[in-house]
């Protein structure tokens, strides 16, 4: 996309933008706004059409996806985190111009309805559910986010295929007895698109919705497709639609992590076949695959690795699943007050257990990776990845050879087989 402001950058005194995502609270307490530049205005009231993506550090007030804002302030060239320009503004420098369309007003109303439904819960429980269900972390305490990050499990707070899998499982199970399997998959795909609109255009959630939709279409027309193929098609679609997202860390980690799970975890699972039970082997293999694939990116971007994440993810994931299940029951089913109070107490217990475990794992120190360590890490990761890929290819070749042998083997008569 072409980026321009139409005026000398030094003369820009205010600019209008349309938010492309909900505001996000920073560690310092302010709000980070991301949006598309619409127009700029100079001191002499000269106005020009402008294009590009803007990242603004604002005050404590939150805004929503689709809001149009007029901000008094300067713009500077940025070019990082998927943004072309950046700026800063306090509360008095921002004027709300309204929503871009009525659909965004409906979306905001639905998010407020969710918040009202959660008023019967403790404040910290409602904040965590809003973060896990809608990606709204504004009310989530900084200490809790810090514990998840130090425990190497901050990905559990980011909307992704894990959260979408829980929701789609519930929807398909509820709709299937009424409409049948095929129609249930189609209806679930439509509802997941609605959910994506309400939650917002999060990269990992968008990827998961696209992959689910493509998989549903393939199943309806009886086409077998591999997960890595779905991931590749989804990657190309997102890259063509939003090329600037390639520079964002969320886009990189989302695709690389799932690619590591799809490519590396089968070989890891086979290596652990005789050492771990099946119920534990699959999540361990998936975690190892994701950690191996994302380690170079995390080391290069943040200079830290959290190996405790291998253990913390195994412990925290079931608790997060239980918390989401009970929270969804509380949200969508109008229970009587006494039963809702009991369910709310279970939600609180899940949250307390989750926070306690995250705080415990956060006590383990991360590994700091410098320049020399980065070289050693890549030197160790490349042979390990090559070995895993070779194991995967060998297993696929053996399986293909076995299928060909069975196809060529003549069928023996039934009577001869009995003799």
| Domains along the chain with CATH numbers | 9-100 (2.40.50.730), 158-247 (no CATH)
State how beta strands 12-19 and 67-72 pair: antiparallel
Mean pLDDT of 138-149: 87
State the Cα–Cα distance between residues 304 and 399, nearest whole angstrom.
Answer: 39
Confidence label for 375 from pLDDT (cuts 50, 70 and 90): low
Whether the Cβ atoms of residue 175 and residue 186 lie closer than 8 Å to each other: no
Of 37-46, 71-80, 172-181, 193-202, the least confident: 71-80
Whether the Cβ atoms of residue 207 and residue 248 lie closer than 8 Å to each other: no
Q: Flag whether pLDDT at 351 surpasses 50.
A: yes
Q: How far is CA 278 from CA 90, 267, 274, in A?
A: 54, 14, 9
What local confidence, expressed as pLDDT, does residue 286 receive? 84
More confident residue, 4 or 355: 355
Q: How far is CA 361 from CA 148, 158, 292, 353, in A?
A: 8, 19, 20, 12
Confidence label for 374 from pLDDT (cuts 50, 70 and 90): low
Per cent of the chain over pLDDT 70 is 88
Confidence label for 419 from pLDDT (cuts 50, 70 and 90): very low
More confident residue, 182 or 1: 182
State the Cα–Cα distance between residues 142 and 119, nearest whole angstrom.
Answer: 21
> What is the value of pTM for the model shown?
0.80
State the Cα–Cα distance between residues 24 and 197, nearest whole angstrom.
Answer: 17
Of 77-81, 142-146, 246-250, 379-383, the least confident: 379-383
Per-position DSSP letters for 212-259, written without gaps between them: HHHHHHHHHTT----HHHHHHHHHHHHHHH-GGGGGSHHHHHHHHHHH
Q: Flag whether pLDDT at 410 surpasses 70.
A: no
More confident residue, 79 or 5: 5
Place of tokens 């895993």: 388
Residue 332 structure tokens: 């969508």
């Amino acid at each position: 996309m072409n980026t321009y402001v139409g005026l000398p950058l030094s003369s820009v005194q205010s600019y209008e933008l349309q938010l492309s995502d909900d505001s996000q609270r920073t560690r310092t307490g302010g709000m980070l706004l991301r949006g598309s530049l619409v127009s700029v205005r100079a001191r002499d009231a000269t106005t020009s059409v402008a294009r590009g993506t803007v990242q603004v550090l604002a005050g404590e007030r939150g805004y929503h996806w689709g809001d149009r804002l007029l901000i008094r302030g300067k713009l500077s060239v940025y070019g990082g985190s998927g943004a072309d320009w950046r700026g800063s503004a306090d509360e008095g420098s921002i004027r709300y111009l309204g929503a871009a369309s009525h659909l965004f007003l409906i979306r905001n109303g639905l998010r407020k309805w969710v918040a009202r439904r959660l008023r019967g819960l403790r404040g910290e429980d409602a904040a965590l559910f809003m973060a896990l269900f809608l990606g709204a972390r504004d009310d989530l305490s900084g200490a809790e986010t810090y514990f998840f990050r130090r425990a190497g499990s901050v990905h559990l707070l980011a909307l992704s295929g894990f959260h979408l899998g829980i929701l789609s499982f519930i929807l398909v199970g509820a709709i299937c007895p009424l409409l049948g399997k095929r129609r249930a998959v189609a209806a679930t795909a439509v509802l997941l698109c609605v959910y994506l609109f309400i939650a917002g255009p999060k990269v990992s959630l968008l990827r998961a919705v696209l992959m689910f939709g493509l998989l549903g279409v393939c199943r309806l027309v009886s086409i077998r497709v591999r997960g890595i193929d779905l991931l590749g098609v989804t990657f190309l679609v997102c890259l063509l639609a939003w090329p600037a997202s390639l520079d964002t860390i969320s886009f990189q980690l989302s695709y690389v992590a799932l690619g590591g799970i799809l490519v590396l975890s089968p070989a890891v699972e086979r290596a652990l076949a005789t050492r771990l039970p099946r119920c534990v082997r699959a999540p361990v293999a998936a975690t190892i695959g994701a950690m191996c694939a994302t380690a170079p990116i995390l080391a290069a971007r943040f200079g830290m690795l959290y190996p405790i994440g291998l253990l913390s993810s195994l412990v925290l994931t079931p608790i997060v699943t239980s918390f989401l299940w009970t929270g969804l029951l509380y949200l969508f089913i109008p229970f009587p007050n006494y039963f809702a109070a009991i369910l709310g107490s279970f939600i609180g217990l899940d949250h307390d257990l989750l926070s306690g475990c995250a705080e415990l794992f956060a006590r383990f120190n991360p590994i700091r990776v410098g320049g020399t360590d980065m070289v050693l890490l890549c030197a160790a990761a490349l042979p390990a990845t090559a070995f895993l890929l070779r194991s995967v290819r060998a297993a696929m070749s053996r399986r293909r050879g076995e299928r060909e042998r069975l196809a060529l083997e003549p069928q023996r008569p039934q009577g001869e087989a009995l003799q």
